[in-house]
Amino acid sequence: MSDDFNMSMRKFLKQVGVTSQQAIEEAMRGAETGGKRYLAKAVITIEELDLRHEVSGEISGQE
């Protein structure tokens, strides 16, 4: 793959990671998470390529 492709993909994934972390932290801020576990799911789609990629996991609340 080309350098331009790699750079644009990394830039997109960095934006996804940073903005997702900020959104999750904001949602949990002030909430009584008390060590709860939250199921999380992220979905990335590229309609033109018929791509749907899903990642699931758990996020632990702060004690």
pLDDT tens digits for 26-53? Answer: 998 878 777 889 999 999 999 999 999 9
**How many domains are contained in the chain?**
1
For position 7, what pLDDT does the model report? 96
User: Is pLDDT above 90 for 63?
Assistant: no
Q: Decide if pLDDT at 20 tops 90.
A: yes
Percent helix, strand, coil in the chain, to 5, is 45, 30, 20
- Write out the two tokens for 25: 């932290």
Distance of CA 30 to the CA centre of its chain: 21
Distances (CA, A) of 37 to 1, 16, 27: 38, 22, 14
- For 56, the domain range is 3-60
Stated pTM of the model: 0.80
The predicted structure's pLDDT at residue 61: 84
